[in-house]
Structure 1
């Protein structure tokens, strides 16, 4: 039996070694078995350092989200009041002897911020930018076989404040180990574009290859998603011991075009060949599409005119912080897609690579943004101090990394840049646009301008921008063609409307600006640190959602908009003082629960039938309540209270909602929408009794046993009849058993001081959220929610 076991073990060892011995590319996740220390430990870069007492963890990791909210933390209220500081990561690993003679690289998708990396005590370099992806060559310093290697990473986020929003801290994106032959395609070494006509597409490929032997060829093959060959081309590689660039073209007959409704993805497989042997293999997904911005007709995709219905998104994932998780990002995009959103602006930095992969696959147009500041600072310790030395490298790396994504249709080189107010903006705009154009001429370059007067704006005066992007200033939209003749337009950032999910006050007859100007002190708030969820409160520089959307849809030359913002995010809690620590701007709250205005957009941005009634129906007797309804696909809506008709309303002119003023009485408020006299939808609001029980609703009851997959579980506090209790704030405790862990909790409250990581959370207006994460083994994951005086609830998640 022992001999048989050894024989099997030997075969497995030979197979493993053979995998490394084979020529070609090997890309492995390098996220596991890291050790972490929070604090400055300068000797940790040394090979002999003892890290035996350090915490062991799996990347991606954000240490700030694990901390406590405190207004004394140097990140300040704008950064969410969470800690920052210095952290160290170390990993011990081995490389097989068979990898000797190959190239071994480490790829970091993002480290916030000021990272320094060492391998076996040798410095590999520094990258100050916290959002950029980068690579180091480990090859000259590695030990092979049984000898150990130690990589050390210092992350220094101690210089504060360095951001206007929550950044997170640490190696918060994925890390990869890439092994290649000596002849190989370098990182981001392909650039694939396509020109479409009525019958076919010409796919053009520009590929860099490091050539270290004679007689090599580069083969490029276009494949369908299922792997079926469409066409291929093979080209001899010139030179030896050099970097060469190869240009190739492939015809794709009757191509299936990528669109927001049908995001069809081909892939190009590049192979470096020595005879029939594959020396290297590099895969680039592509979407074949055409798009255009027109000064008169706005935006078109594949020849079809359409509005860009976009939102701005920061990078945090609520209770998960900045540590990226593909499922958490996918959930956000699913919620936005259901609203009718078709575009994302990555505010105000390069996103995680996986985010763009999702946008490619799910059908979103992307404005890919580089910087929030150039050489003039917005915060005392921000990127401005590194901009002179690093902006060219960082922007080049962003463009090279992201230019093959079909979802990316605009490059933004900055947001509300302060150089727009002086002549330095002319020189820098031209320089940055040239950096982009040297690498990609297929997409327009824009920047988000807060100064809307072209006579005063030096970025506009540069003449270098392909697409004029305004932040706010809807008063300029009607006269845009007159004031900016021949210019193409995108509303790069709009609205800045505030809302707290589930909170209402009346009347709603006028729009409120909190505060009323940049010089006015904010005094209009309340002790709950809440903003009414009716769409009638905005920042002084902004507007309501309805005001701006009416204009965007009215004028053809307005290509579309990016609403500030899609989701609430940690930090920038305007207009309230501490303890507010998260934003109020989102259409969706921090936990992922839609606010009421979500349904206004759904009624305008989709063709699906919509009828949404607000507010809840729990009020003091006799109070007059403004009842709003958003609807579409109907001629009218009739409102009933306890069976009595309160009248029929329909939208008049440019109205996007209808209103009744209703004296409250307990019971049932019911709305019925009709088209051609036939009922389309019905919605009811019931007066709820006291909290009696908990209900758990999982977004997915089957998740993968990969150690990463998530299920988002909505916790609803109900009365005995099953109605959500709109003022319920019961403390809910969570127990997790089986194949997974509790990854985070939230409730969407913008001023809550509760930890995202404790196994409990107060309900906020009847709701809270538990996020559970799968283990790496299959089985059942049981989640139980309990609260004093309430019937508990349990949900079982299958981990497969």
Structure 2
């Protein structure tokens, strides 16, 4: 019997909610006495052209028997259709209790490259055999791609310049906590992909392998990061207490585990570590060099960076000389000077923005920016009484910026490889700028329930090539109010109408990233028409909502796998008699399930909503609510019934199918 226990009683040990218990999948691997060492396969593609690619695999094989073993190492390469396209066999004699590293090279003709747009994956199937016995078999996914961080041109993937449009994410999954659900991670990535995001920073710990598998499959590039602290602590019981005993082994395991993922393009050895601040203390230099030495021995193919908020060359981590790519957290006003400060060095903005927003809430005038709190070490005394932050992109932390302020700089300079926005999703903990009863963050482009905030569409309008037009806010105000209407768009021009009367045509000019009309409120209909080359291509309509009358429910997926793990995310909307969402509705919603499934979480995205997540009822927040349904290990129809007092109920049907 193997018993694993977690003692997480000593608090605080993290600056945010990092989870408790065993929340990732645990794997117990049993092997024969002749086997491939755990994480003992390392695949690289050192030479790539249009016609061919050199596949190189190093395989570490161990012999724990009491006899010499004559073995064959057979590698088969499978394409995207799982068809064997080539193979190679080599022979070796393994000594008693021996350990050997076998290097094999295979030429792959007409390689299909891995890229953001076409994340083509191959498989290496490795067998260890002797006579008629198969000792071990391991399948390893890999991709063929080449890249460089250039000090003048930025990031180049497969010979094509790519701006890294990334986000930082903690690993919690909203109302599901930190427990790993493959579908929940996939949903997050789908939402980000739809925004135009192409990169993930695993802030600030090595990710679940399921995340990297999905990034490989879906075409995200990854900054793979370890360590929010080194030997100097940030909280009383954090990893600094275990640093001396564990950093070397943990770093080795991290690199060995993740180095075959084509999505991983850079290692980050730390986030805002305390050692960066004391220029008279050499420990930052020493630790950075030790970590880099471990990494380069195990993976010489990828660059190293660190997320530094001490943005001077005297920063000991930078001064160590081990950062292949300079990484800054924030300080966007300093980016234009990077080529002068670090000549010949590539640069990436490892963490940016830290803007704050509550979905569906708006402070006016919209062109007045709030820096909350007034300083990083001071409390906020003048915020909103209901603990909200404006969604106009006019509220940020003092160390950060609005989304527009940083993106203008990133967009302007080719030498900036890209950025990772803090954060893609709201997360549990760190409710800056407020304290209790706020219990989750305001940083996300997407709220804790997975509902996009308005700024999501700013990035769509900048990062996607399809026509985009998003108009906000809602149209339920007091008669006589002066309201700022914004539009995020990539159309040539937008004309705004209120109750059929034109409010004028606006065009994005210069460095403008949104359009704005300041108008008196009258109830009715707001419509916006986006035009490209004089032709109407998009129309968006916002109607004044009446009082709540009914519920609408929509599932992200209706056919699920009957494996006890698959999820369906149900979006619930509170609407009036015409089907218009009621933007201030907070009705209590109850969900019932009939069939082989269970409700495992409900949320509404509100940072101050203190009800339990594991429940079948929740108040809507600004008209929206979420229910998460998990299948059981049996097939059948699932009926999801959604009810609320005095509102017309609704229901949807899902199918749970075995081996889907």
TM-score, length of structure 1 as denominator length: 0.80
Aligned to 1:101: none
Q: Secondary structure at the match of 2:3?
A: strand
**1:160 pairs with 2:11:** yes
Deviation per CA, 1:59-117: give whole Å up to 9, x if none. xxxxxxxxxxxxxxxxxxxxxxxxxxxxxxxxxxxxxxxxxxxxxxxxxxxxxxxxxxx
**1:672 pairs with 2:529:** yes
Q: What's the offset of the Cα at 1:179?
A: 2.5
Aligned residue runs from structure 1 range 175-574, under 5 A:
175-195=26-46, 196-211=48-63, 212=65, 213-241=68-96, 242-422=98-278, 423-455=282-314, 457-574=315-432
In structure 1, C-alpha distance between the alignment counterparts of 2:34 and 2:646, rounded to whole Å: 68
CA contact (8 A) 1:286 1:404 kept: yes
**1:653 pairs with 2:653:** no
In structure 1, C-alpha distance between the alignment counterparts of 2:231 and 2:403, rounded to whole Å: 33
Alignment length (residue pairs): 649
CA contact (8 A) 2:124 2:139 kept: yes
CA contact (8 A) 1:491 1:558 kept: yes
Larger Rg: 1
In structure 1, C-alpha distance between the alignment counterparts of 2:304 and 2:454, rounded to whole Å: 34
In structure 2, C-alpha distance between the alignment counterparts of 1:511 and 1:253, rounded to whole Å: 56
Q: Secondary structure at the match of 1:526?
A: coil
CA contact (8 A) 1:238 1:244 kept: no
Q: What's the offset of the Cα at 1:277?
A: 3.5
Deviation per CA, 1:348-403: give whole Å up to 9, x if none. 00010111000000000000001000000000110001001100000100000000
CA contact (8 A) 2:71 2:94 kept: no
Unaligned runs of 5+ in 1: 1-149
In structure 1, C-alpha distance between the alignment counterparts of 2:495 and 2:638, rounded to whole Å: 45
Aligned residue runs from structure 1 range 74-93, under 5 A:
none
Q: What's the offset of the Cα at 1:225?
A: 2.1
In structure 2, C-alpha distance between the alignment counterparts of 1:198 and 1:742, rounded to whole Å: 50
**1:597 pairs with 2:455:** yes
Aligned residue runs from structure 1 range 598-617, under 5 A:
598-617=456-475
In structure 1, C-alpha distance between the alignment counterparts of 2:546 and 2:349, rounded to whole Å: 45
In structure 2, C-alpha distance between the alignment counterparts of 1:602 and 1:447, rounded to whole Å: 28
Q: What's the offset of the Cα at 1:553?
A: 1.1
Q: What's the offset of the Cα at 1:171?
A: 1.1
In structure 1, C-alpha distance between the alignment counterparts of 2:319 and 2:501, rounded to whole Å: 62
Q: Secondary structure at the match of 1:477?
A: helix
Q: Secondary structure at the match of 2:156?
A: strand
Aligned to 1:134: none
CA contact (8 A) 1:740 1:773 kept: yes
Q: What's the offset of the Cα at 1:511?
A: 1.8
Deviation per CA, 1:207-231: give whole Å up to 9, x if none. 1011245221111111102222222
Aligned to 1:786: 643
Q: Secondary structure at the match of 1:327?
A: helix
In structure 2, C-alpha distance between the alignment counterparts of 1:409 and 1:152, rounded to whole Å: 36
Deviation per CA, 1:455-489: give whole Å up to 9, x if none. 3x011111111111100000111111111111110
In structure 2, C-alpha distance between the alignment counterparts of 1:175 and 1:448, rounded to whole Å: 29
Q: What's the offset of the Cα at 1:516?
A: 2.1
In structure 2, C-alpha distance between the alignment counterparts of 1:680 and 1:292, rounded to whole Å: 38
Q: Secondary structure at the match of 1:470?
A: strand
CA contact (8 A) 2:392 2:454 kept: yes
In structure 2, C-alpha distance between the alignment counterparts of 1:652 and 1:629, rounded to whole Å: 14
**1:618 pairs with 2:449:** no
TM-score, length of structure 2 as denominator length: 0.97
User: What is the aligned-residue RMSD (CA, Å)?
Assistant: 0.9
Task: Out of 670-679 and 723-732, give the one that drifted further.
Answer: 670-679
Q: What's the offset of the Cα at 1:276?
A: 4.4
Q: Secondary structure at the match of 2:30?
A: strand
Unaligned runs of 5+ in 2: none
Q: What's the offset of the Cα at 1:424?
A: 1.1
In structure 1, C-alpha distance between the alignment counterparts of 2:277 and 2:330, rounded to whole Å: 17
Q: What's the offset of the Cα at 1:178?
A: 2.3
In structure 1, C-alpha distance between the alignment counterparts of 2:214 and 2:406, rounded to whole Å: 28
Runs of 4+ in 1 over 4 A off after TM superposition: none
In structure 2, C-alpha distance between the alignment counterparts of 1:693 and 1:404, rounded to whole Å: 51
